Chain A
Amino acid sequence: MSSHKIDRRAERVLLGALRVWGVQGSVSCEPDGFMLCAAAGKKMRIARDLPRGWRLFNETRLLGEAAGLPGLLRLLREELAPQAARGRLIIGSALP
């Protein structure tokens, strides 16, 4: 699959995550990752360096690193929507 197609998918996933958290904003593709602009005036650069992972920057500094998309989404939620509900996967009893 072309990197362009993967980038578009990642852009949609990031934008959809904003909606899930109730954050207004936009996401655009950059040569080495994505630029995320939240309506509250927060700007963040997301650099992708697979297979090493993702790095999240604001305008001046590195905010965090994540080995994969789940970690990146967690970093973003903590930065942009710390009040958003946060769940935890629980595995219960076996299926009947």
Chain B
Amino acid sequence: MTPVPVSVITGFLGSGKTTLLSRLLRDPALERTAVIINEFGAVGLDHLLVESSDEQILTLEGGCVCCTVRGDLVRTAGDLLARRAAGAVAPFERIVVETTGLADPAPIVHALMTDRDVADALRLESVIATVDAAAGAGTLDAHPESVKQAALADRIVLTKTDLADPAANGLAARLQALNPAAPKLAAVHGAVDAGRLFDGRAYDPALYDPALYGAPAHRHDDIRAFCLRRETPLHAATLSLFLQVLAEHCGARLLRLKGLVDVVESPGRPAVIHGVQHVFHPPAWLDAWPDGDRGTRMVVISQGLDEQWLRDLLELLDQEVTACSIS
């Protein structure tokens, strides 16, 4: 059975998640979409604002999806799949999860990547963060949750761009420094090109364009994005040890890591690595390099990790592996 793509829409309170979702569900390209809405509080309202078939919308009430109802999310997704198999709901082709405004998206992503009941039936497609063009800068200053939401996202949707220009108020530059590789899409009243929100970019070499990185971070943000490059291939053991050390010592600070890696044991077939904190997909092996660049590139978005330390760690590990290798 083909895994069902799942996208997570996150974003701070009032940033326009529900408006975006409501508009997206009117797009004919997304009509076969099931929605799981997590509502924080005793009385859920957000699902009433989303115009769609009721049977396709499920709500998780009474807690924040990232901490108290993570199990419910997995169960609900599992129930949806079972009901689809039984013909009890329309045959949806995609699931969208809308989180509460206070949610840390990382545990949600972890659940979708690792829960054995759903990991084979679902595939994480993308994390989409909404940021309010008018109030976003203030929200980023005051609420670290919102910074993390934007930093973890695969795509950022700037909402309410009819009220404020994110380029003029500095928000666009701040988001670019925070998460350079995430495409930034503008939305007015939730209208955005759905095709650009949900297209797969896991192997896109444009993610690793060095021109994207190096912008100075905002003074309030301790989250940094940078790209580690290496011109000579790495041993597979080095890559494994590097990820283990990062997971063991830096897990929560390592928000995202995406890379194309030239591996000694796999000449001409680079490994694609993707991880969120200490949880990684297994490496995927490409048949060929996607562009003319044959170097290893790893994009890191981290909280308080030093770029040079990661470079030194990678080099030192490879020196040790090389010294221990039988040539």
Contact = CB atoms under 8 A, between A and B. Distances in A.
Contacts of A90: 110, 114, 247, 278-280
Contact of B123 (A12, A19, A20, A93): A93
Nearest to A85: B252
B124 A6 contact: no
A96 B320 CA distance: 33
B192 interface: no
A9 B241 contact: no
Interface in B239-269: 241, 243-253
A73 B313 CA distance: 11
Contacts, number: 122
A53 to B, nearest CB: 9
Nearest to B305: A20
B239 to A, nearest CB: 11
**Which applies to chain B's interface (DSSP): helix, strand, loop or mixed?**
helix
B48 interface: no
Contacts of A70: 241, 244-245, 248, 317
B5 to A, nearest CB: 7
A16 B280 contact: no
Nearest to A48: B320
Contacts of B280: 89-92
Given A6-B319, A95-B284, A89 B309 contact: no
Contacts of A68: 241, 317, 320, 324
Contacts of B112: 93
7 contacts: A13-B313, A69-B316, A73-B245, A89-B280, A90-B247, A90-B278, A91-B279
Q: What band does the interface of chain B fall in when counting residues whose beta carbon is under 8 Å from A?
A: 35 or more
A86 B282 contact: no
A13 B309 contact: yes
Interface residues of A, number: 32
Interface string B8-41: 0000000000000000000000000000000000
Interface string A59-81: 00000000011100110010000
Given A12-B309, A20-B250, A68-B320, A93 B113 contact: yes
B215 interface: no
Q: For A9, A50, A77, A92, which residue has the most chain B Cβ atoms within 10 angstroms? A: A92
B204 to A, nearest CB: 12
Interface string A9-26: 110110011011100000
B75 interface: no
Contacts of B272: 95
B119 A92 contact: yes
Contact of A16 (B113, B120, B306): B306
B203 to A, nearest CB: 9
